[in-house]
């Protein structure tokens, strides 16, 4: 026993690069929790308290992370498991009877195809226009020589802090003919004050000389924007694009309020809400004329599976995109910390 | 840059008037109440001139029967549609001409010329509307076709006449352009014109709704026109306090709102604690992993969170299955249907969704703290907790303070998404927050909808919120010497 302990102590010293350390307690746990990368703050003291703290800390964070991941995993294993098991809630930790027919069967779910097209459309078009507009407006409001620059900038920005309320907003949209109209998803979102602030702040950090030299060569505002500002502000534009896209993809209240007579224009999220809140049986969800394929007959699709599968296709784009885009998200929130 | 004193002459002043009129003409296109194309009761009264122009289908929605019965010829409807379109184009040309008039002399003159052209186009096309009106009057069944002479036509024709006259005067008053002059515009106006479309969008979508506040003064039901006889003054404002049922509702809803916002405020330090403890995890890869996966729920919509809730907490859900397997319960518990502890549950969902995300700003703040402070403290013998207490927390407090002030300012605005998806017949009394109440009252499918009252409540909410924000800003200025917005 003694030998092992001694060995541990030596290993620790070597790994941690610490010379004279007073170990109050020692043990393998320190090897595990203090990785070599951590250089420590000079003399680092380990104590029982520290060990307990670390174990607890790791435990709680792992628990919370699991709580964040598990529901999606649970949804997923339920969509690929035997449907009769899924229905009674028998699938808990691992899939049983793996099959992927549920995803194919979605073709027959009423109105789902439309809503996917609507959601993808509004995400692509809406975000694209919003990014172009934010970039352009962000650039314009940095131009000191504009007539009434400050007034117009504030005119746009101040709308972040007040709104007339839900009903006047709805009445206004109805007055403009934007109810039951796909454009309702696109046009109101073009001017996004918060994103304009982000872009403006970013453009202000670009050296003015670049622009001046281009202007000397006779480039107009549009040329300067297209050839210099736009390429240089790509990082911030990517950031707002991702935020915008997530916002568009996730919104459902607008479908509910603005598209009362046009179920074909429901966004995927609202369509999902309808599936989730429906109490009726599965048949009403299925297209009346849709042919029920053989595999579906075998698998006996039920409400719970349909709900889960639609949820999965709604969440997959986010799950796929998020890990790669995380740095943009973080950049976004950090830039938001600077005030307009 | 030195400001140049420009001497203004008569044409300049006339141009100011012209521009105002041009703005009116543009707004005119979008106001349904002033639609000059509404020459028949069959034209939907929510249509504006613009919509009548671009959408033949919407314009003639209710004419199907009239056309098949032969009361109205299809040609008349086409005429109505095309005239509206032409009218819109004419008005747009007027607006474009007025934009050009911001330029230097040569461009200015051209702009005025374009304006004159625009008035002519618009007037010419509008006369088509009058022809359509005559056709409606001569219809074989005037009772069903209901010809109405739209007052909008007279208004816009008068405005066009004034624009035409003034433009002609300005055109001749303006000095002759020199030959070597170019079509130029000062940079300041050029930039302004580039921004103008976005200003217009902001105006239309953010400021124009304020006009909707006028329904608070009327006895309004969907589809009604706000005419004088429906004017009720401040009835709805007093109704709010006088009507016992409404008063009770407001009281209940305010209690829910304040309770849930209050719980949110009371737990707002959790994000800071999350960040502090997360940075105590020294294994970088693992920390990164935690951070990535705890932020994902923030990017999931509330509908999906409801889907997750169903999956885990419904009768056949994960939790019930596990509990039944473990022999703790015999039959599934309906967690989502119960109305117990709904405030706490909503808080928990909010935390699950937002905790990891709101911690990011603190994590960044922590990495911004000068490492020497920690080293010095360590040398002085401070342990982990002392360092957190005396270095980390004090450095984070300013950020926390700002965010806290902002959330106090937003205490009435919990949003309706979360509560909307989780509400059901069991919990609807305790889950209904102000935003959701306004929705239910104004737009909900229930028979008791009252648009005017809902607008009154929304309006008061907006005013209180902006006041709170203003106060929070003041508070921040007093305490930190820096404003937050």
Same domain, B161 and B273: no
Per cent of chain B over pLDDT 70 is 96
Q: What distances in angstroms separate CA B168 from CA B75, B114, B172, B176, B241, one per listed residue?
A: 35, 11, 6, 14, 58
Q: Which residues of B touch A269 (CB under 8 A)?
A: 301, 303-304
Question: A234 in helix, strand or coil?
Answer: helix
Using CA atoms, how far apart are residues B452 and B235, in angstroms rounded to an integer?
Answer: 10
Residue B260 binned pLDDT confidence (cut-offs 50, 70, 90): very high
DSSP A159: G
pLDDT on residue A87: 75
Of A286, A242, A228, A261, the closest CA to residue A108 belongs to: A286
pLDDT on residue A282: 52
Mutation choice for A interface testing from B4, B205, B332 by most A CBs within 10 A: B205
pLDDT on residue A151: 92
State both tokens at B137. 């009057």
Residue A16 binned pLDDT confidence (cut-offs 50, 70, 90): very low
Sign of dihedral through CA atoms A154, A185, B308, B337?
positive
Residue B463 lies inside a defined structural domain of this protein: yes
Maximum average pLDDT range among A43-52, B172-181, B370-379: B370-379
Q: Give yes or no for residue A5 having a pLDDT over 50.
A: no
Same domain, B376 and B437: yes
Q: Which residues of B touch A165 (CB under 8 A)?
A: 209, 438, 455, 458-459, 461-462
State both tokens at B252. 């209940």
* B317, B325, B375 ranked by CB distance to A41: nearest: B375
Using CA atoms, how far apart are residues A236 and A194, in angstroms rounded to an integer?
Answer: 12
Stretch A119-128: mean pLDDT, rounded?
Answer: 95
Burial label for A119, CB within 10 Å (0-12, 13-18, 19+), is buried
What number of CA atoms fall less than 13 Å from residue B452's CA on the CB side? 22
Mutation choice for B interface testing from A89, A328, A337 by most B CBs within 10 A: A89
**Which residues of B, range 272-291, sit inside 8 Å of A by Cβ?**
277-278, 280-284, 286, 289-290
pLDDT on residue A179: 83
Q: What is the pLDDT of residues A191-209, one digit of tens each?
A: 999 999 889 988 988 888 8
Q: Which residues of B touch A47 (CB under 8 A)?
A: 383
Sign of dihedral through CA atoms B81, B82, B86, B87?
negative
Same domain, B269 and B334: yes
Query: Which distant-in-sequence residues (6+ apart) come within 8 Å of B227 by Cβ?
Result: none
Using CA atoms, how far apart are residues B158 and B171, in angstroms rounded to an integer?
Answer: 20
Q: Give yes or no for residue B238 having a pLDDT over 60.
A: yes
pLDDT on residue A334: 67
A153-157, B123-127, B241-245, B480-484: range with lowest mean pLDDT: B480-484
* B58, B202, B321 ranked by CB distance to A92: nearest: B321
**Which H helix or E strand runs over A219?**
none
Query: Which distant-in-sequence residues (6+ apart) come within 8 Å of A225 by Cβ?
Result: A135, A136, A139
- In Å, how far is B138's CA from the nearest CA of chain A? 30
Using CA atoms, how far apart are residues B208 and B213, in angstroms rounded to an integer?
Answer: 10
- In Å, how far is A148's CA from the nearest CA of chain B? 8
* B48, B280, B438 ranked by CB distance to A165: nearest: B438
Q: Which has the higher per-residue pLDDT, A7 or B73?
A: B73
B213 touches chain A (CB under 8 A): yes
Q: Which has the higher per-residue pLDDT, B197 or B233?
A: B197
- In Å, how far is B340's CA from the nearest CA of chain A? 20
What number of CA atoms fall less than 13 Å from residue B242's CA on the CB side? 7
Q: Give yes or no for residue B450 having a pLDDT over 70.
A: yes
Q: Are the C-beta atoms of residues A69 and B293 closer than 8 Å to each other?
A: yes
Q: Give yes or no for residue A285 having a pLDDT over 60.
A: no
Residue B397 lies inside a defined structural domain of this protein: yes
pLDDT on residue A36: 45
pLDDT on residue A46: 60
Contact B191 A140 (CB under 8 A): yes
Tell me which chain A residue has its CA closest to the CA of residue B320: A89
Same domain, B169 and B292: no
Mutation choice for A interface testing from B304, B333, B384, B410 by most A CBs within 10 A: B304
A178-187, A276-285, B190-199, B354-363: range with lowest mean pLDDT: A276-285
Using CA atoms, how far apart are residues B30 and A174, in angstroms rounded to an integer?
Answer: 11
Q: Are the C-beta atoms of residues B56 and B74 closer than 8 Å to each other?
A: no
Domain that holds residue B395: 238-480
Of A130, A262, A68, the closest CA to residue B293 belongs to: A68
Stretch B67-96: mean pLDDT, rounded?
Answer: 88
Q: Give yes or no for residue A315 having a pLDDT over 50.
A: yes
Q: Where are the domains of chain A?
A: 110-277
Stretch A304-320: mean pLDDT, rounded?
Answer: 86
Identify the CATH number of the domain in which residue B367 sits: 1.10.3720.10
Q: What is the pLDDT of residues A146-157, one digit of tens each?
A: 988 999 999 998
Residue B352 lies inside a defined structural domain of this protein: yes
Contact A152 B192 (CB under 8 A): yes
pLDDT on residue B224: 58
For residue B284, the Cα-to-chain-centroid distance in whole angstroms is: 42
Using CA atoms, how far apart are residues B292 and B294, in angstroms rounded to an integer?
Answer: 6
* A62, A167, A270 ranked by CB distance to B438: nearest: A167
Q: Are the C-beta atoms of residues A108 and A302 closer than 8 Å to each other?
A: no
Residue linked to tokens 């982990």: B384
End residue of a domain, out of B162, B185, B208: B185
A21-35, A65-79, B431-445, B464-478: range with lowest mean pLDDT: A21-35
pLDDT on residue A28: 41
Q: Which residues of B touch A309 (CB under 8 A)?
A: none
Give the E-state strand segments of chain A in sequence order. none
A264-268, B4-8, B145-149, B268-272: range with lowest mean pLDDT: B4-8
Stretch B420-435: mean pLDDT, rounded?
Answer: 86
pLDDT on residue B227: 61
pLDDT on residue A189: 92
Residue B229 lies inside a defined structural domain of this protein: no
Residue B471 lies inside a defined structural domain of this protein: yes
Residue A187 binned pLDDT confidence (cut-offs 50, 70, 90): very high
Size of interface A-B (CB pairs under 8 A): 275
Q: What distances in angstroms separate CA B182 from CA B101, B103, B107, B417, one per listed residue?
A: 14, 10, 8, 56
Angle, helices B10-30 vs B74-100, to 10°: value is 150
Contact A187 B435 (CB under 8 A): no
Q: Give yes or no for residue B165 having a pLDDT over 90.
A: yes
- In Å, how far is A161's CA from the nearest CA of chain B? 7
Of B275, B281, B289, the closest CA to residue B363 belongs to: B275
Same domain, B328 and B243: yes
Fold designation for A110-277 = MetI-like fold (1.10.3720)
Q: Give yes or no for residue B179 having a pLDDT over 60.
A: yes
B374 touches chain A (CB under 8 A): yes
Using CA atoms, how far apart are residues A301 and A84, in angstroms rounded to an integer?
Answer: 8
Contact B438 A166 (CB under 8 A): yes
Q: Give yes or no for residue A137 having a pLDDT over 70.
A: yes
Q: Give yes or no for residue A8 having a pLDDT over 70.
A: no
**Which residues of B, range 66-125, sit inside 8 Å of A by Cβ?**
none
State both tokens at B483. 């404003």
Q: Which has the higher per-residue pLDDT, B102 or B219?
A: B102
First-to-final CA distance of chain A: 64
Contact A42 B201 (CB under 8 A): no
pLDDT on residue A188: 93
Using CA atoms, how far apart are residues B390 and A241, in angstroms rounded to an integer?
Answer: 39
* A75, A161, A162 ranked by CB distance to B311: nearest: A75
Contact A339 B483 (CB under 8 A): yes
Stretch B198-225: mean pLDDT, rounded?
Answer: 82
Tell me the sheet residues that pair with B147.
Answer: B40
A63-77, A123-137, B237-251: range with lowest mean pLDDT: B237-251
Q: What is the pLDDT of residues B290-349, one digit of tens each?
A: 988 898 898 899 999 998 988 888 877 888 888 888 877 777 777 777 778 889 989 999
Q: Which residues of B touch A67 (CB under 8 A)?
A: 352
- In Å, how far is A267's CA from the nearest CA of chain B? 12
* A33, A65, A156 ranked by CB distance to B293: nearest: A65
Maximum average pLDDT range among A65-79, A215-229, B47-61: A65-79
Q: Which residues of B78-117 are buried (b: 16+ CB within 10 A; e: fewer)?
A: ebbbebbbbbbebbbbbbbbbbbbbbeebbbbbbbbbbbb
pLDDT on residue A308: 87
Same domain, B404 and B323: yes
* A92, A172, A270 ranked by CB distance to B208: nearest: A172
Of A266, A47, A117, A235, the closest CA to residue B382 belongs to: A47
Stretch A221-247: mean pLDDT, rounded?
Answer: 88
Q: Which residues of A touch B46 (CB under 8 A)?
A: 174-175, 177
Same domain, B145 and B263: no
Q: What is the pLDDT of residues B93-151, one digit of tens each?
A: 999 999 998 888 888 889 999 999 999 999 998 888 888 888 888 877 777 777 888 88
Q: Which has the higher per-residue pLDDT, B342 or B480?
A: B342
Of B175, B135, B181, the closest CA to residue B40 belongs to: B135
Residue B451 binned pLDDT confidence (cut-offs 50, 70, 90): confident
Query: Which distant-in-sequence residues (6+ apart) come within 8 Å of B328 by Cβ?
Result: none
Contact A252 B303 (CB under 8 A): yes
Mutation choice for A interface testing from B210, B283, B299 by most A CBs within 10 A: B299
pLDDT on residue A18: 37
Q: What is the mean pLDDT of chain B?
A: 85
pLDDT on residue A209: 85
Angle value at C-alpha A101, between A96 and A107, nearest 5 degrees: 145
pLDDT on residue A332: 65
Residue A29 binned pLDDT confidence (cut-offs 50, 70, 90): very low
Same domain, B254 and B175: no
pLDDT on residue A31: 43
Q: Which residues of B touch A136 (CB under 8 A)?
A: 194, 198
Same domain, B327 and B444: yes
Stretch A155-181: mean pLDDT, rounded?
Answer: 86
Q: What are phi and psi of B300, to 5 degrees?
A: -105, 140
Q: What is the mean pLDDT of chain A?
A: 78
Count of domains for chain B: 2
pLDDT on residue B329: 78
Query: Which distant-in-sequence residues (6+ apart) come within 8 Å of B432 by Cβ?
Result: B252, B253, B256, B419, B423, B440
pLDDT on residue A6: 43
pLDDT on residue A301: 64
State both tokens at B114. 């374009």
For residue B322, the Cα-to-chain-centroid distance in whole angstroms is: 45
Residue B4 lies inside a defined structural domain of this protein: no
Residue linked to tokens 């737990």: B267
Q: Which has the higher per-residue pLDDT, B273 or B3?
A: B273
Q: Are the C-beta atoms of residues B413 and A78 closer than 8 Å to each other?
A: no
Query: Which distant-in-sequence residues (6+ apart) come within 8 Å of A217 by Cβ?
Result: none
Q: Give yes or no for residue A30 having a pLDDT over 50.
A: no
Q: Which has the higher per-residue pLDDT, A174 or A333?
A: A174
pLDDT on residue A2: 41
Q: Which residues of A touch B190 (CB under 8 A)?
A: 221
Same domain, B309 and B447: yes
A291-295, A329-333, B142-146: range with lowest mean pLDDT: A291-295
Of B70, B68, B50, the closest CA to residue B59 belongs to: B50
Using CA atoms, how far apart are residues B281 and B287, in angstroms rounded to an integer?
Answer: 6
Residue linked to tokens 């069991």: B426
Q: Are the C-beta atoms of residues B443 and B462 closer than 8 Å to each other?
A: no
Tell me the sheet residues that pair with B40.
Answer: B147
Q: What are phi and psi of A276, to 5 degrees?
A: -70, -35
ipTM field: 0.85
pLDDT on residue B453: 86
Contact B198 A38 (CB under 8 A): no
Residue B23 lies inside a defined structural domain of this protein: yes
pLDDT on residue B280: 87
Contact B379 A141 (CB under 8 A): no
pLDDT on residue B226: 61
Show the 3-state SS of chain B: CCCCCCCCCHHHHHHHHHHHHHHHHHHHHHCHHHCCCCCECCCCCCCCHHHHHHCHHHHCHHHHHHHHCCCCCHHHHHHHHHHHHHHHHHHHHHHHHHHHCCCCHHHHHHHHHHHHHHHHHHHHHHHHHHHHHHHHHCCCCHHHHCECCCHHHHHHHHHHHHHHHHHHHHHHHCCCCCCCCCCCCCHHHHHHHHHHHHHHHHHHHHHHHHHHHHHHHECCCCCCCCCHHHECCCHHHHHHHHCHHHHHHHHHHHHHHHHHHHHHHHCCHHHHHHHHHHHCCCCHHHHHHHHHHHHHHHHCCHHHHHHHHHHHHCCCCHHHHHHHHCCCCCCCCCCCCCCCCHHHHHHHHHHHHHHHHHHHHHHHHHHCCCHHHHHHHHHCCCCHHHHHHHHHHHHHHHHHHHHHHHHHHCCCCCCCHHHHHHCCCCCHHHHCCHHHHHHHHHCCCCCCCCHHHHHHHHHHHHHHHHHHHHHHHHHHHHHHCCCCC
B384 touches chain A (CB under 8 A): yes
């Amino acid at each position: 026993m003694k030998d092992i302990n001694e060995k541990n102590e030596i290993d620790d010293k070597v790994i941690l690069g610490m010379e004279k350390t007073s170990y109050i307690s020692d043990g393998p746990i320190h090897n595990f929790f203090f990785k070599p990368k951590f250089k420590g703050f000079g003399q680092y003291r380990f104590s029982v308290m520290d060990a307990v703290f670390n174990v607890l800390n790791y435990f709680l964070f792992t628990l919370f992370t699991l709580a964040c991941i598990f529901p999606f995993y649970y949804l997923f294993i339920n969509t690929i498991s035997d449907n009769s098991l899924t229905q009674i809630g028998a699938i808990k930790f691992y899939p049983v009877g793996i099959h992927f027919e549920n995803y194919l069967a979605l073709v027959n779910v009423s109105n789902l195809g439309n809503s996917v097209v609507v959601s993808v459309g509004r995400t692509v078009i809406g975000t694209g226009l919003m990014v172009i507009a934010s970039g352009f407006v962000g650039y314009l409001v940095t131009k000191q020589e504009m007539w009434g620059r400050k007034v117009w900038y504030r005119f746009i920005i101040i709308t972040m802090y007040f709104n007339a309320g839900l009903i006047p907003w709805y009445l206004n949209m109805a007055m403009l003919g934007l109810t039951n109209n796909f454009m309702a998803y696109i046009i109101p979102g073009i001017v996004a004050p918060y994103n304009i602030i982000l872009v403006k702040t970013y453009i202000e950090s670009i050296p003015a000389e670049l622009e001046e030299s281009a202007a000397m060569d006779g480039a107009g505002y549009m040329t300067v924007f297209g050839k210099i500002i736009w390429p240089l502000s790509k990082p911030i534009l990517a950031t707002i694009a991702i935020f915008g896209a997530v916002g568009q993809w996730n919104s459902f209240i607008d479908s509910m309020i603005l598209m009362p007579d046009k179920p074909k224009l429901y966004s995927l999220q609202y369509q999902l809400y309808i599936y989730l809140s429906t109490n009726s049986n599965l048949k009403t969800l299925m297209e009346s004329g849709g042919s029920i394929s053989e595999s579906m007959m075998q698998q006996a699709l039920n409400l719970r599976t349909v709900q889960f599968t639609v949820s999965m296709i709604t969440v997959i784009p986010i799950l796929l995109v998020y890990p790669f885009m995380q740095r943009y998200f973080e950049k976004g929130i950090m830039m938001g910390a600077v005030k307009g | 840059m030195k400001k140049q004193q420009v001497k203004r002459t008569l044409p300049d002043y006339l141009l100011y008037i012209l521009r105002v009129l041009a703005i009116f003409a543009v707004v005119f296109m979008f106001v349904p109440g002033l639609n000059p194309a509404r020459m028949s009761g069959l034209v939907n009264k929510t249509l504006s001139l613009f919509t009548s122009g671009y959408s033949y289908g919407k314009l003639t929605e209710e004419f199907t029967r009239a056309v098949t019965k032969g009361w109205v010829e299809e040609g008349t409807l086409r005429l109505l549609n095309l005239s509206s379109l032409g009218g819109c184009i004419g008005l747009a040309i007027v607006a474009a001409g007025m934009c050009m008039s911001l330029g230097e002399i040569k461009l200015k003159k051209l702009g005025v010329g374009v304006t004159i052209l625009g008035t002519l186009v618009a007037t010419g096309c509008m006369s088509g509307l009058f022809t359509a009106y005559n056709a409606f009057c001569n219809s074989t069944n005037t009772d069903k076709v209901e010809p109405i002479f739209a007052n909008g036509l007279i208004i816009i024709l008068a405005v066009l006449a004034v624009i035409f006259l003034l433009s002609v005067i300005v055109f001749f008053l303006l000095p002759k352009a020199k030959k070597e002059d170019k079509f130029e515009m000062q940079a300041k106006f050029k930039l302004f014109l580039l921004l103008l479309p976005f200003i217009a969008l902001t105006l239309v979508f953010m400021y124009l709704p304020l006009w909707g506040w006028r329904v608070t003064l009327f006895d309004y039901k969907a589809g009604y026109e706000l005419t004088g006889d429906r004017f009720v003054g401040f009835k709805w404002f007093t109704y709010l306090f006088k009507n016992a049922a409404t008063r009770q509702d407001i009281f209940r809803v305010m209690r829910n709102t304040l309770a849930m916002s209050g719980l949110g405020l009371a737990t707002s330090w959790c994000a800071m604690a999350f960040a502090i403890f997360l940075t105590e995890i020294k294994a970088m890869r693992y920390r990164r992993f935690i951070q990535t996966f705890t932020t994902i729920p923030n990017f999931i919509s509330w509908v999906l969170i409801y889907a997750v809730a169903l999956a885990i907490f419904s009768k056949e859900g994960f939790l019930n299955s596990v509990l039944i397997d473990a022999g703790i319960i015999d039959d599934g518990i309906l967690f989502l249907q119960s109305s117990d502890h709904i405030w706490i549950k909503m808080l928990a969902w909010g935390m699950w969704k937002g905790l990891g995300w709101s911690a990011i700003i603190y994590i960044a703040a922590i990495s911004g703290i000068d490492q020497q402070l920690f080293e010095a403290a360590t040398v002085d013998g401070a342990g982990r907790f002392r360092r957190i207490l005396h270095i980390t927390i004090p450095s984070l407090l300013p950020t926390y303070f700002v965010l806290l002030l902002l959330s106090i300012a937003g205490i009435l605005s919990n949003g309706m998404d979360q509560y909307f998806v989780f509400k059901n017949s069991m919990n609807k009394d305790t889950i209904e927050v102000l935003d959701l109440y306004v929705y239910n009252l104004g737009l909900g499918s229930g028979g008791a909808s009252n648009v005017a009252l809902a607008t009154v409540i929304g309006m008061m909410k907006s005013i209180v919120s902006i006041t709170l924000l203003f106060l929070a800003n003041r508070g921040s200025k007093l305490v930190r010497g820096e404003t937050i917005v």
